[in-house]
Chains A and B, each alone.
Chain A
Amino acid sequence: MYRYDEIDQRLIDERVAQFRDQTRRFLAGELAEDDFRPLRLQNGLYLQRHAPMLRVAIPYGLLGSAQLRRLAHVARTYDRGYGHFSTRQNIQFNWPRLEDVPEILAQLAEVQLHAIQTSGNCIRNTTTDQFAGVAPDEIVDPLVWCELIRQWSTFHPEFAFLPRKFKIAVSGAEEDRAATLVHDIGLQARRAEDGTIGFRVIVGGGLGRTPMVGHVVRDFVAWPDLLNYLDAILRVYNRHGRRDNKYKARIKILVKDRTPEGFAAEVEAEWEHLKGGPGTVPAEEIERIASRFTRPAYRALPDDGIELSRDDRAGAASELAALLAPGEPGFARWAQRNVHPHRMAGYAAVTLSLKKTGVPPGDASADQLDAIADLAERYSFGELRVTHEQNLVLADVERAQLPALWRDARALGLATPNIGLLTDIIACPGGDYCALANAVSIPVAEAIQRRFDDLDYLHEIGELDLNISGCINACGHHHVGHIGILGVDKNGEEWYQVTIGGRQGNAAGIGRIIGPSFARDDVPDVVERLVRAYLDARDSDAERFVDVVARLGLAPFKEAVYAHAD
């Protein structure tokens, strides 16, 4: 993780002091609610259905064990004993008291955590690949660039009051695990032929009310120009983005209105002025930031010859099981889904599933958080990552330690072998917590998980992203689920609209609606029928649900869902 220097620490301490005073003025009646709202939002604080919700930033998803223990302490002391990991690699607390929030932020600042710009119409937390720095398919380690962007975006004086929120994601690998095509700005790090690092810049993607896949506005921005180029994009957006209608205020609408080519030309014109200017990043700064990241002290381990990145994951997992945990049923299945390749011989990355049936997706108790901090220290150099699928990753585990980690994780309820499978559901907090939601999400996720509780069946179905959002704001990323479920309001009742064929990654696409929406109790049946239609139609178990939708279109799935209806 990145370790603060004196200036980094001073700035977040000054932010705590600023927010303490703003909260005091609000509570004393000196600051009206309308004036306080944008200020508290820029510190991650919402006033929700039951109580305030505090969203704490986890910059690019990277956490140290001491930080995790502090989050556990906050959950235990100021919340009801748990935290909720969000799809933007942050953590949310749903029950703090407003008057306690300045103190919570002060305690977080002691371990280099903050809630700066986790909400509001400003540049939000930058997200990245949960396997940054360890993925074998990595071209450029995105972490240093994410920290550079974090610093540039923190308290940016020109862009604190944008037309709408603004999200940046960075990927540095061949496979895009950061959803760069569905962010306001997606950056794909790459190397030019001469080895120069640069970024392909994608603008105008996003989910929400008007889902869109972003457009490439520049194929390569060399790294020294990155911040100047970002300034140019943000300036064009800040000046010209719509402010008359919040539903048309995201940059994707501006890009559409100007056409991607027209928008790119405006950015180029602005960049002409900024290029080579004071915002040009010196190599010394990149070296300085890189040197402040802790790096795992890997041991030289023998290569066991088991290729975890090969297509036949089941085969690789059973070889691993035979080598490391013979006679331990369950290990192979866990290894197949929750263990991931690593660029260093003898190491693997491990996902701790926060998708156990009956637990809201992304939720972890304070005791679990403390225990996970222990696991991180015991198995992974004291660090962990939050994934945008709402799970946790120990990125640097020695393969020989996998069985021990598996047993420990299982005892904590964190070893459900379902990563990438149907029950690894992304879900927003939904109507149980969120004031915006039309419908609940968590109980729907649980009902689906219960329906697909049979592990053999779940593994037979194979990779299937199922995402649930409680409203059109799409915090549950339903548009990019292979199956997406969206809560809608019909005359005051909760209904659910189903899309299929959405996907994230390099070929990101928006799912299509299969037809009229469903009552809540029918949703597990609908998913079951979609899955059966898929199993009937697939060529082999290598053809995933989403591949069959791409091959056959909606028709057989509509037929399966609606034909029996009467």
Chain B
Amino acid sequence: MPTLIDAAGPRADSWTRLEAADADALATAAAQAAPGADLLVTLDAWQSAPELLTGAARLGVLLEPDDPPEALTGAIDRLALVAVRFPSFTDGRGYSTARLLRERMGFMGELRAVGDVQRDQVFYLARCGFDSFELRDGEDAQAAVAALATFSESYQGAHDRGPLFERRFPQAARARKKAVVL
């Protein structure tokens, strides 16, 4: 079983994942889900059959690496969870997906990395905006939580904090100007 963690440690997963092959299967699965369940569905299901999901207490969408996060534009406030799948930890598209969701689209809900998620990636994932991690089978949950603090500083900005030069020169950051002659 994969273990779900966040910065505080392992936690229970309240979400029911509906991964239906087509609309009929989705309807069946949605009907079978407990009333008032939290439902996590694929982008395709969410786009094609939103009416089937009205019974859910909360809704979440699972994005594949090639699903554009922009597809959720306009609906982001209705989603309590966005999960992004990493089919392999070396497929880095989900990092950009996360930053776009957080920094451009203003997603405030839970952002979860799922799939091939290991302790060696959680530091970067967290920087890009993920706040929960469904660790792959066999990964040590406590070690993964500890790995969130692998580095004590970062040069470049991301979701979690701005660039280091912003902390070095807070006044300059406030007075940011575009074209300065050096």
Which residues from chain A sit less than 8 Å from chain B, CB to CB? Answer: 7, 10-11, 14-15, 18, 22, 35, 38-39, 121, 151-162, 194-197, 222-225, 227, 235, 238-239, 243, 273, 275-276, 278-286, 288
Contact = CB atoms under 8 A, between A and B. Distances in A.
A285 B155 CA distance: 12
Contact of A196 (B164, B177, B179): B179
A281 B165 contact: yes
B154 interface: yes
Nearest to A276: B178
B contact patch SS: loop
Contacts of B163: 152, 227, 278-279
A121 B162 CA distance: 24
**Residue from A194, A235, A282 whose CB has the most chain B CB atoms within 10 Å:** A282
Interface in B84-136: 89-93, 95-97, 99, 104, 118, 120, 123-125, 127-128
Contacts of A156: 156
Given A7-B153, A160-B95, 19 more contacts: A11-B155, A35-B120, A153-B156, A154-B155, A155-B124, A157-B154, A159-B92, A194-B181, A196-B180, A223-B182, A238-B93, A238-B95, A243-B91, A278-B157, A278-B166, A279-B157, A282-B165, A283-B172, A285-B169
A151 B92 contact: no
Contacts of B172: 282-285
A139 to B, nearest CB: 13
Which one of B118, B127, B156, B178 has the greatest number of beta carbons of chain A within 10 Å?
Answer: B156
A157 B89 contact: no
A279 B156 CA distance: 8
Contact of B176 (A10, A158, A280, A286): A280
B32 interface: no
B150 interface: yes
- Chain A CB within 10 Å, residue with most, of B97, B162, B165, B172: B165
A231 B150 CA distance: 23
Contacts of A159: 92, 95
B158 interface: yes
Contacts of B104: 273
A162 B92 contact: yes
B168 A283 contact: no
Given A7-B164, A235-B96, A238-B96, A283 B155 contact: no
B14 interface: no
B97 to A, nearest CB: 8
Contacts of A288: 165, 168-169
A235 B155 CA distance: 18
A22 B143 CA distance: 12
Interface string B137-175: 000000000000011111111100011111011001100
B176 A282 contact: yes
A282 B168 CA distance: 10
Given A223-B182, A282-B169, A283-B180, A157 B158 contact: yes
B156 A284 contact: no
Given A278-B173, A280-B176, A284-B165, A158 B154 contact: no
A18 B152 contact: no
A227 B156 contact: yes
A151 B124 contact: no
A151 B89 CA distance: 24
A157 B127 contact: yes
B151 A155 contact: yes
Nearest to A17: B150
B182 to A, nearest CB: 5
6 contacts: A7-B164, A159-B95, A224-B177, A278-B173, A279-B157, A288-B169
Nearest to B182: A197
